[in-house]
Amino acid sequence: MEENQALVAFAAISNQTRLRIIRLLVLAGADGRQAGVIARELDAAAPSRVSFHLRQLEQAGLIESRREGRSIIYSATFPALSDLVAFLMHDCCEGHCKVCDKAIALFAQCTGRPTKALVVS
């Protein structure tokens, strides 16, 4: 991930509502959530306001949408989130931290679907 991409992503999640949306969508996994469900899970958030935040996150490449019938389903873009974490951890210990390297490799394999435990050696 380039520094400019990281800045756009961090700017997108620097808002409390957008950070909460990302966390909800990570929890939802690859199945995602309908926009209306996201609005309800955010309690007092107006649907139009939630739509604004969803657009911001989608433009930053952190979430994606798909149409299912009359509903729009949003889900976290796990590779982008993985790249963002890797961007932060990349230079840990001057780029020579085996623990961080393993964590980055494991996170990069995340698809948002439950799997058997992955082991990277």
pLDDT reported for residue 71: 92
Q: Please give the pLDDT value at position 64.
A: 97
Q: How many CB atoms lie within 10 A of CB 111?
A: 10
- Range list of β-strands (E), the chain: 33-34, 63-68, 71-76
State pTM to two decimals.
Answer: 0.82
pLDDT the model gives residue 111: 79
pLDDT, position 119: 52
The sheet with strand 63-68 has its strands ordered as: 33-34, 71-76, 63-68
Tens of pLDDT, residue by residue over 69-100, are: 999 999 999 999 989 988 888 777 776 777 77
The architecture that CATH gives domain 3-76 is Orthogonal Bundle (1.10)
pLDDT of residue 117: 54
Q: What is the pLDDT of residues 20-58, one digit of tens each?
A: 999 999 999 999 999 989 999 998 668 789 999 999 999
The pLDDT score that the predictor gives to residue 97 is: 75
